[in-house]
Structure 1
């Protein structure tokens, strides 16, 4: 898609928007959304992956608006709407990973450095900040003229949100790597845990790729010093958007459909893997009896042992073995058919 300095006379973008690619990406995301919805009903895993459903809706709507905008490239409301939604989708996609990590931590509590529920809350809080900054910045960018204070302010908010999201994603990958390492060291690394860890590494890499693209876009375009040359080429050439933003997010959602966590982790958060790496038991789950204000002020519970005071996994004889098989061995299932046969005792 060549650079076209005169295209701004006919479009709110520095180029004439492609009319075919937005349709392709909208269809791909809609297809992924339908598959994910089916799998969520099949495995009844909505509580863990509802962020993925929400992100698909937001991102798909953005590309639908982009499709309409490509035929009405001077329509300001369409331009603002598609800009905000395309920017807003990826941070919600990233939030889907946080819940998956939380469920993985509940599955192997003895190797979890922090309370699973608390780590999810912290990452979701940070993700909400990223989403708020992204929405505000995208709105300012789309509704202002390049070079104006409002445009630069919008670009600054976008840059801050991208850097923050990249930092959060790096912290997230570090947490996954620590859990992965501890499981491997304890020889508690069955196939289902390996698949989930590799999936989280891969989806995080796609989010980080998108962050790098948006960071380059922000720091080379939305500044006072930006002028001439290659500055702003990311904005002036549409193909960057599809290769480094749309494509990674489509691959992200397709990846989580192919390796849906509902296939590999139990729906019941109280079901955990015993230290033999094969047997699964129903424990009491993580319980934090502290006042709500204290859990917010000290989400990682630094005052006490980071993994909680109960350590129920040290007394496995107190808790029933799951008789329906084992996710670690690939013989258990979250499907309703399995439950009708008497599986998933105590599932919630």
Structure 2
């Protein structure tokens, strides 16, 4: 990696051959680890996006490694730019799914329907992904057209700002759930505590990445003409910015979610919830909305119910005697998503078979 401003082909510096290979290996290992853990915990419905994001991000860095030896190849440059930019928003979609599953697990503390919270964040993430892909492809394919290149940078800037806003909303929901759980039980269950800390940390890494990438993008926007004259900002002519503020945070993100995999902390079933004693887990009916389909379509987040102080969902957790005790407890460390490791628990003298929990 060069520290000079000398350019090489499509790059405003001499790209490193070693670092893309190193990060390709690191991200690829994490990607394979995610696949293994998804099979182990059968958690594909929640953390599928980690595997998809890992595939996209790994392809981006492998292509960058190849591109570093073919610095004038436009197609390779476009692919590595688009895929490296596209990976992080896909990773974030997995965090949104994890948050949704946490809300299903703690329905009494969910501010809105858990499924709709997830869908809202995923749709916002999709908007980020669309803007990112459009901006990255425009920039990469118009390195000699300053106006088009600047337009691509504008799209990237908008995507980064939007993603930072979404992550801020995610953190606010996590804080709300974390606070409410601690207020009720006076201490947060270990599995919830662990998951909240993980989501705080991964969101911080994404926000850090967004801020640094936004600074880079706005630098491109403000100094595009001077850069064309050979006076580029150091942010654009030093490759280490990319590895320090794009690659490194996302590598930490993926390994953090591997080490603290949500399949260790949460059940696969979205009808399984934590009782108000923060120890017992029960098999409830899931989130039940009393409104008609047209009402839920018009007001998907039940804003009318929240404003009136009378939400339209069933507070099934207030009648724990109606719902059977689940097999083991993730809150107490006696349950597992791994086949054969789930402990049996007794409810009114009857054992809940593991097959009923799947």
Calculate the TM-score normalised by the size of structure 2: 0.91
Q: Report how far residue 277 of structure 1 moved.
A: 0.8
- Are 1:217 and 1:232, in contact at CA under 8 Å, matched by a contact in 2? no
Give the match for residue 298 of structure 1.
299
Give the match for residue 210 of structure 1.
209
Deviation per residue, 1:261-294 (Å, 9 max, x gap): 0001011110000011100100000134656665
Give the match for residue 280 of structure 2.
279
Matches of 1:28 and 1:297, distance apart in 2: 46
Matches of 2:328 and 2:51, distance apart in 1: 29
Q: Report how far residue 343 of structure 1 moved.
A: 5.3
Matches of 2:294 and 2:6, distance apart in 1: 57
Matches of 2:210 and 2:297, distance apart in 1: 28
Deviation per residue, 1:78-97 (Å, 9 max, x gap): 00000000000000111111
Matches of 2:135 and 2:207, distance apart in 1: 19
Matches of 1:16 and 1:293, distance apart in 2: 59
Give the match for residue 244 of structure 1.
245
Q: Report how far residue 137 of structure 1 moved.
A: 0.2
Distance 1:3 1:144, change over 3 A: farther
Secondary structure in structure 2 of the residue aligned to 1:99: helix
Secondary structure in structure 1 of the residue aligned to 2:340: helix
Give the match for residue 335 of structure 1.
338
**Any gaps of 5 or more consecutive residues in structure 2?**
345-351
The total of aligned residue pairs comes to: 345
Matches of 1:167 and 1:252, distance apart in 2: 18
Q: Report how far residue 21 of structure 1 moved.
A: 0.7
- Are 1:55 and 1:90, in contact at CA under 8 Å, matched by a contact in 2? yes
Deviation per residue, 1:134-180 (Å, 9 max, x gap): 00000000011356211111000000000000011001100100110
Distance 1:69 1:201, change over 3 A: same
Give the match for residue 320 of structure 2.
316
- Are 1:88 and 1:135, in contact at CA under 8 Å, matched by a contact in 2? yes
How well do the aligned residues superpose, as a CA RMSD in angstroms? 2.1
**Any gaps of 5 or more consecutive residues in structure 1?**
none
| 1:220 equivalent in alignment to 2:219 | yes
Secondary structure in structure 2 of the residue aligned to 1:303: helix
Give the match for residue 265 of structure 1.
266
Calculate the TM-score normalised by the size of structure 1: 0.93
- Are 1:334 and 1:344, in contact at CA under 8 Å, matched by a contact in 2? no
The residue correspondences of 1:73-88 to structure 2 (distance < 5 A) are 73-88=71-86
- Are 1:147 and 1:224, in contact at CA under 8 Å, matched by a contact in 2? no
